[in-house]
Structure formats: C-alpha cells, structure tokens
Amino acid sequence: MKIPAIRRGRRLLTAVAAVSAAVMALGALPATAMPADQVNPIDKMIYENDHPMGSQIAKHEGTPMTLVHPDDISIQAAVYGIDVSGWQGNVDWAAQWNAGKRFAYVKATENTNYTNPYFAQQYNGSYNVGMIRGAYHFAIPSANMQTAIDQANYFVNHGGGWSRDGKTLPGALDMEYNPYGSTCYDLAPGTMVKWILNFSNTYHSRTGRWPVIYTSTSWWSQCTGNGGDFTSTNPLWVARYASTVGTLPYAWGFYTFWQYSSSPIDQDVFNGAQDRLVALANG
C-alpha cells in the first residue's frame, strides 16, 4: 500500500525520510532507506513487521486519487471513526475527537510475533477522550489449524480482550491479501473458511464475543470461495475505497462497519446511531 507521510507518523517520517511515500510498499526495506543501524529500532520493527488494516487491499484493489466521502442512502444514521496501527505512532486523539471521530480500532497484533509498540497510547488515548474503541489482529493464515487458535490466543493476550464497560468493541479479525506471497496464503477455500472459523471460535471461547470480520468482497470471494457463512455470528467490516459500499461479501445482508478511505488516515463509518454502537460494545 502507498502510505502517505501523515499515516506513517512523525517518528517514521524522521527515521526514513529518504524514502518517498511512493515506495513505501510493505515488504523488504528498500535500498534507498537509511541504514538499519541508523533507524530507531521501534520504527524499524514497525516498518518491517506491521501491515496496517487495508494495506494489502489498497495495494491490490487500488485507492482513489481524491479523498472519498461515504454516500450510502441505506444508512439511516452513522457514527464516524478511524483505525490506526504502529505507523501512526502517538496519535493526537483530542484532534481526532474534535474532527468528529467517535470510535477507533487499534491494531494490537499480527501473526504470533508482532505487537504494536504504540498500542497503549492509541488504545488508552482514544478511550480517555471519550471514544468507544476496540483492537484488531492482522491474520496470517496457514494450513495448520493450530495457528488459528494460537493467533486468537495471542491477540487476546496482547490487547484484544473485551469487557462489558460500554466503551470496548469486540476484537476484529483482519482478513486480507497475503503481504508475503500468494493472495490466499496457498490455502484452498475450504481450508481458509476452517481457519477463520477456528480463530472465531477460539476468540469467542476466550471473551464471550464473536470477532468482527474485516475483509473486502473481492478477497473474500477469491479466498473463501463464498463457502463460509458467518452472518449469524460475526459482524461485517467491509473495506471499499469508494463513495458507495458496493456488493457485500457472501451472505452478509448488511455491514456493521465500512472502511471507505485510507486518506489521510483510515476512515470508517459505523452503520447505525451512537446508541447502537454502544449496544455493540455491550454485547
């Protein structure tokens, strides 16, 4: 994903100033970047290991050249929010609140070997200004079903838990294109569905909540073969960087969240009024 400077955060902008935003694709450190021994270790860890929500969807499906505003006539009420990861560093939450954002999702973990070093500032900071917030996990599926269980536990153990306080959203499972190789992680559709189900069941057994599933319609169709129906348990968070939400992933009749833009930071809308958002938080 082409990550604008504002999304990378001031720390990363300083650390890798020699790298233009146009080459900030998530992957190996570009040859034009500063030498590893001159980059702040935290920034280097983020740069090499943190794949923000939607980064691979934007990379494969594209983003509009202009700022997108949601235009969905089916929305009777809406609450606006953002999602963040280590790329944003310390977020100015007061500014986000003043901009009208009322909820936030914060990246907690990826696979079983990465935790967001800015998680506490982002998760607690959003809460402290009055936002309802939740955590998300960037999934790295595999044919080994134990990895689904391990990743769900890792997520819960590193910030992805839930409490009935009216301010904590259920954790979100980020399912998108493989940043390391083949689109569907070399998994057959049935195996992918089983992996997602095992993660979801493990998260539910640990927290009492079903995780929100974040994905795009295109990825879901390709990688699950439209063979899994999660509509009775898992709220949908759909990614589509356009003014309309478009066709939803298989079987879901409505979306709970819509990530409609990645500029200047990931922009999201909740499909309902504030009291419904609180109800989702309360379970």
pTM summary value = 0.86
pLDDT band at 69 (very low <50, low <70, confident <90, very high): confident
Q: Which residue has the higher pLDDT, 279 or 38?
A: 279
pLDDT at res. 15: 39
Say if residue 97's pLDDT is above 60: yes
pLDDT band at 181 (very low <50, low <70, confident <90, very high): very high
pLDDT digits (tens, 9 = 90+) for 139-176: 999 999 999 999 999 999 999 999 999 999 999 999 99
Q: Which two tokens stand for residue 202?
A: 């493990």
Q: Which two tokens stand for residue 78?
A: 């809406």
Catalytic residue among 43, 176, 266, 268: 176
Question: Residue 89 and residue 83: Cα distance in Å, rounded?
Answer: 12
Q: Are 54 and 239 a contacting pair, CB within 8 Å?
A: yes
Q: Where are the domains of the chain?
A: 5-51, 61-282
Average pLDDT over residues 45-49: 87
Catalytic residue among 43, 61, 110, 174: 174
pLDDT at res. 49: 87
The strand pair at 78-84 and 114-115 is best described as: unpaired
pLDDT at res. 66: 65
Say if residue 33's pLDDT is above 50: no
Catalytic residue among 83, 110, 266, 268: 83
Q: Are 171 and 209 a contacting pair, CB within 8 Å?
A: yes
Q: Does domain 61-282 have CATH number 3.40.50.970?
A: no
Q: Which two tokens stand for residue 217?
A: 């319609």
pLDDT band at 243 (very low <50, low <70, confident <90, very high): confident
Average pLDDT over residues 87-98: 98
Average pLDDT over residues 16-41: 43
pLDDT band at 37 (very low <50, low <70, confident <90, very high): low
83 labelled catalytic: yes
176 labelled catalytic: yes
pLDDT at res. 72: 78
